[in-house]
Structure 1
Amino acid sequence: MASRKWSEMTGGQKSGVIAGGLVQLVLAGLAWSDLAHRPAKKVNGPKGVWAAVISINYAGPIAYFIAGRKD
């Protein structure tokens, strides 16, 4: 797929890019906030590693919420 410049995108495409970016930022923010407030004994593995994993696009925060927390 060829990359496009912002000015070449339609309004709907621009909205999609913005919405996707906002979803990613919100997921990461929620995951980092949860990690910061959760005691280390309630996290599966080192908190520093999870902090780095969360920064990986959508997959990181989702992985943290699925596998990183102990309930």
Structure 2
Amino acid sequence: MAARKWDELSPRARRLLVAAGSADAALRAAALFDLRRRSADRVRGPKWAWIVALSVVSSAGLLPLAWFLVGRRR
């Protein structure tokens, strides 16, 4: 199945894509901000790896959620 072009999408599909992209960007920014403020001893795993993953990997919001659920030590 060939990918559709933006012009071929319905207005509803366009709104959903923009909303999903905005939510992903907001979650990613919140996770990076939290990670920056957190000391390395309160992070599970290497801090640099989380920064790279959150900055580079496209995960549709799953990686920032993983940060908030598993990456932080209480």
TM over 0.5: yes
Aligned with residue 70 of structure 1, among 66, 69, 73: 73
How many Å apart are 1:53 and its aligned residue?
2.4
- Which one scores higher on RCO, CA 8 angstroms, separation ≥ 6? 2
TM-score (norm 1): 0.90
How many Å apart are 1:3 and its aligned residue?
1.2
For the 8 Å contact 1:53–1:61, the answer to whether it is kept is no
Counterparts in 2 of 1:11-26, with a 5 A limit?
A: 11-26=11-26
- % of aligned pairs identical? 35
Q: Which has the higher mean CA deviation after the structures are superposed, 22-31 or 44-53? A: 44-53
Counterparts in 2 of 1:1-71, with a 5 A limit?
A: 1-55=1-55, 56=57, 57=59, 58-71=61-74
Give the unaligned 5+ runs of structure 2: none
CA–CA separation in structure 1 for the residues paired with 2:4 and 2:17: 12
1:41 corresponds to which letter in structure 2?
D
Moved over 4 A (4+): none
CA–CA separation in structure 1 for the residues paired with 2:30 and 2:54: 10
CA–CA separation in structure 2 for the residues paired with 1:37 and 1:44: 14
How many Å apart are 1:2 and its aligned residue?
3.3
TM-score (norm 2): 0.87
Give the unaligned 5+ runs of structure 1: none
